Amino acid sequence: MQTDGSNAIDNEIISMKNVLSLLFGLALCSANGIAGEYFSVQKQWEGIDREYLIFLPEQYKANENKLFPVVFGLHGYTGTASGFEKETTKGMNLFAEQEGIVLVYPQGSHFNSIHQGEPWFISSWNDVVTNADQKPSNPRKCLLDRDEYPRPPECREFNFCAWTSCYDDLGFLKSILLDVSANYRVDEKRRYMVGMSNGGAMSYRFSCLYPDLLSASAIVGSTVPISNSCSRETKLPLLIIYGSADSTTPADGSPSTDGFVYEPASVLFDSWAENMNCNDTAIKSNLKHSEDRGINCIARRECELAGKEVQVCEIPGGEHYWPGQNESVGFCSEPLQNDVVNSSSACEKHYESINWGNEMIWDFLKKHRKG
């Protein structure tokens, strides 16, 4: 057990690292033509160093009495917080600078391993149901010849279909959300969560368990293990986006290329709408850019609470990537994460224009606020 003195030293070291991270972040923003602040905050959680990145748009500094919307963005399996911003979303900070949005990018727990003879940086989110034991009455969550992924060192037990972290990531995310709400000028009526792939599954589970802490959520290229949809009543609007050609998390319920079986997007959509007590009839819906990009969106509205909805959007021919992106990326890391993340590659891509996919998702989120 650490003494009070060692705790003080640890806190001082973390504070120094946070200052260095802020300097790295300012340099990154300057290099990318963004005037906002971008930095890492380190946090002890379950005895290990965890971190999250924060982006504050220039408007945040200029308007000291204003409250800002905040979006929490979760990376996918083997991804990083900075890779999610830089590559997965094609520069979400650039969009947030324009719109005046505070962004928070939590980093999943991680370790280094060898997979199929190659060194791997493994990061993931524990959404609880992925690692849960197989229920005899439910369809199998994976095939007998499924791919086997490296077992996280903290997992004492790891069933046949398990592949994610075993840390309390739900508690970690809740703690970050409360920290950010207490320490920054964010509007508690406009708190949102988005995620890609494993990060989307985490966003979905967090939204299911803690709907009162958010105003809306969006998941991309993501679902949950078969027969594990949220079964709780909720009033939280949800957007589901998937590509019709996604073989990593197929939207039709067929086995993925690595042998796992997920809930169909249609089941996620309808079950969430039923939890919200929405009208049974799905109607065509349009989000910014969806119609001109040939994206098919439908919504169930007229829910128990007026103005709430659940939407699902299919990108014809789309694969396992964020809307507006054309490849599965996000596995690199920026210098501001060097103290915690030891990823195998540095982020090299640079995007100078706003990604329309971020605009489309924000078009859904911004319509919804608490109260």
pLDDT given at position 147: 95
Residue range 203-241, pLDDT digits in tens: 999 999 999 999 999 999 999 999 999 999 999 999 999
Give the count of alpha carbons within 13 A of 102, CB side only. Answer: 24
59 pLDDT above the threshold of 70:
yes
Residue range 135-175, pLDDT digits in tens: 898 999 999 999 999 999 999 989 999 999 999 999 999 99
- What distance in Å separates the CA atoms of residue 19 and residue 217, rounded to the nearest whole number? 31
Residue range 285-326, pLDDT digits in tens: 999 999 999 999 999 999 999 999 999 999 999 999 999 999
pLDDT given at position 61: 93
Domains of the chain, first to last: 4-365 (3.40.50.1820)
- What distance in Å separates the CA atoms of residue 216 and residue 362, rounded to the nearest whole number? 10
Alpha carbon 292 to its chain centroid, in Å, reads: 26
Name the percent of the chain lying above pLDDT 70: 91
Residue 341 burial by CB count (10 A; 0-12/13-18/19+): exposed, middle or buried? buried
Confidence of residue 33 (pLDDT cuts 50, 70, 90): low
DSSP assignment of 145-205, as one string? TPPPPPPPTT-S---TT--S--S-HHHHHHHHHHHHHHHS-EEEEEEEEEEETHHHHHHHH
The partner residues of 300 in beta bridges, in order of sequence, read 310
The H or E element that residue 99 is part of is helix 92-99
Q: What is the DSSP letter of 85?
A: I
Alpha carbon 331 to its chain centroid, in Å, reads: 14
pLDDT given at position 350: 82
